[in-house]
Amino acid sequence: MDFSYTDEQDAFRRELRAWLEENAPDGWLEDPELPDDDAERVEFLRDWQRTLADDGWAGVHWPEEYGGRGASLIEQAIYREEMARINAPPQINLIGINLIAPTLIEVGTEEQKRRFLPSIRSAEEIWCQGYSEPEAGSDVASLSTSAEPNGDGEWIINGQKIWTSYAHVADWCFLVARTDDSGKKHEGLTVFLVEMDQDEISTEPIHQPHDDRTFNQVYFDDAVASEDLVVGEIDQGWDVVMTLSAFEHGSTSIYTIEQRYLDLLEYCRTETRNGTPLIERDRVRQQLADFDARIQAAKATHLRNVSEQMETGTPGPEGSMDLLVSDELRNDLLNFAVNLQGPAAALWENGHNAFDETSGYIRSYGAWIAAGTGDIQRNIIGERVLGLPKDIKSETSHRSE
C-alpha cells in the first residue's frame, strides 16, 4: 500500500485548508468555543453546516448528482483530518450526513433521495437514529417497537427508543421496527423514515454527568409513517440496518483523537511540576510515546480499511476494528490526561482543565457504547473478518427469548 498522497489529493487538502482559514466562524481559529445556551448552540451549528453546504463542504463523499462533491475515500479521510486540525465545530446533522444519507443513496428510492438529501446537507432537517431500546441494549435485533399497517397506506408505530442522540432537535428519525414476530429475531424488521413533529411522539432528555443533553428517550404512541417512507423491503429491514451500521462503523474518529493527543503533548511541554516540564518525566514520556504508536497504528489500519473499501465499493466489517480501537484509545488517552492534572481536573468549568479532558473522559464511556459495545464489535470482527463461528445467541429465535 502506498501511503503518499497524489498531487490531486494534496490540492484537495490545500483548497479545504484555505477555505477553513477564510470561512471558520468568527474567532474560532483563535478560541474555539460553542455557545452555552442550548438553543443558541443549535442555531450556531445549523449556521455552520449551512456555510459548509453552500460551498460544497458538507457531504463531500456523496455523489455529485445528489449534491455531494464526489470526493474519494482518501479525500474524505483528508477532510476529517483537516476538520480535526482546527477543532472545527461539529456538524449538527452528522448522523444525517455520514449515516442516513449514504444509506439512502445505497438502498433508498429515487424519490426518497431527491426529497431528503438536500435538506440533510444544509441541516434544514436534522435526523436522529431510532435503533437502541431499553430491553435490547446493543442488540438491535432484539427490539420490540412495532409497526402495523392500518389499511390506508400508513403504518402505525408503537414503542420506545433510548440513547437517541439529537432526538430533541431532530425533524426526522431513521427508525427500525418489528413488522413480523413469527421468525428469528433478525427477520421481520422494517425501516421507516418517521417525521418527529407528531403529537404521538414525545422525547425525554437523559441528563448526562457532564451536563450535556445529547441522549434522549423517545416514545412512539400510535405514530404514523406512510408506506412511501419505508426504506428497502417490508420485513427485510435487517439488510438496511447492516448497511447503515457499516457506514457508522467506518466513520473513524481517529483524527480527532490524534488532535487531542497533540494538544496534550503541547500541554506536557509547557506545564511544569516543581519547575520541571511534565514531558521530562520518564513515565509521562513513555506513556505519550505509547499513545503516539497506537494512534499511528490506528491510522494505518483505517487507511488499510479505506483501501479495501475502494476495491470493493462498499464498507466492510473491518470498520468495526476502527471503531473498537478508537473507542479504547480515546478512553485511555483522556484517562491519562485527567490523571496528569490531579485535583485540578475536577474544575472543568473556568478552571485549569485547558482541554476539557474531564468531560471528554466521561463522554468517552457513551462513545464506547454507541454503534454497539466493544463486545458487539469483537463479535463482528471474529465472525465476519476472521471467519470464526457465529455467536450462539445470534441464531436464537426471537419468539423463544
Set 82, 125, 133, 248: catalytic member: 248
The pTM is what?
A: 0.86
Residue 154: helix, strand or coil by DSSP?
strand
Cα gap 301→320, rounded to integer Å: 11
* pLDDT attached to residue 394: 53
Tell me the C-alpha to C-alpha distance, in Å, between residue 13 and each of 16, 72, 326. Answer: 5, 12, 23
pLDDT for the residue 370 = 75
Beta 127-130 vs 172-178: how paired, if at all? parallel
Work out the pLDDT band at 385, boundaries 50, 70, 90.
confident
* pLDDT above 70 for 136: yes
Q: What angle, rounded to 10 degrees, do the helices at 73-85 and 282-312 form?
A: 150
Q: What is the dihedral of CA 263, 86, 251, 201, to 10 degrees?
A: 110
Query: Which has the closest alpha carbon to 57: 86, 34, 32?
Result: 86
Beta bridge partners of 127: 172
Residues 274-324: tens digit of each pLDDT: 899 999 999 999 999 999 999 999 999 888 888 888 888 777 888 888 888
How far is residue 350's CA from residue 268's CA, in Å, rounded to a whole number? Answer: 20
**pLDDT confidence band for 62 (50 / 70 / 90):** very high
User: Is there a contact between 221 and 292 (Cβ–Cβ < 8 Å)?
Assistant: no
Q: Render pLDDT for 139-195 as a digit per residue (tens, 0 to 9).
A: 888 899 999 999 999 999 999 999 998 999 999 999 999 999 998 888 999 999 999
323-338 pLDDT, tens digit each = 889 989 999 999 999 8
State the CB neighbour count (10 A cutoff) for residue 289.
10
Separation of CA 105 from chain center:
18
- pLDDT, averaged across the chain: 88
Is 204 assigned a catalytic role? no
Q: Kindly indicate the confidence band of residue 400, based on its pLDDT and cuts at 50, 70 and 90.
A: very low
Q: What is the mean pLDDT of residues 26-46?
A: 89
Q: How far apart are CA 237 and CA 178, in angstroms?
A: 9
C-alpha span between 305 and 319 (Å, rounded): 7
Cα-flanking dihedrals φ and ψ of residue 149, to 5°?
A: -75, 145
Among 312, 392, 283, 362, CA closest to 73: 312
Mean pLDDT of 39-58: 94
pLDDT at 1: 62
**Residue 399 has what pLDDT?**
39
Residue range 209-264, pLDDT digits in tens = 766 777 899 999 999 999 999 999 999 999 999 899 888 876 778 999 999 999 99
The C-alpha cell of 270 is what?
A: 509547557
**Nearest-angstrom CA–CA distance, 210 and 335:** 15
pLDDT at 262: 93
User: Looking at residue 401, what is its pLDDT?
Assistant: 36
The rounded distance, in Å, linking the Cα atoms of 185 and 135 is 14
Distance CA 5, CA 7 (A): 7
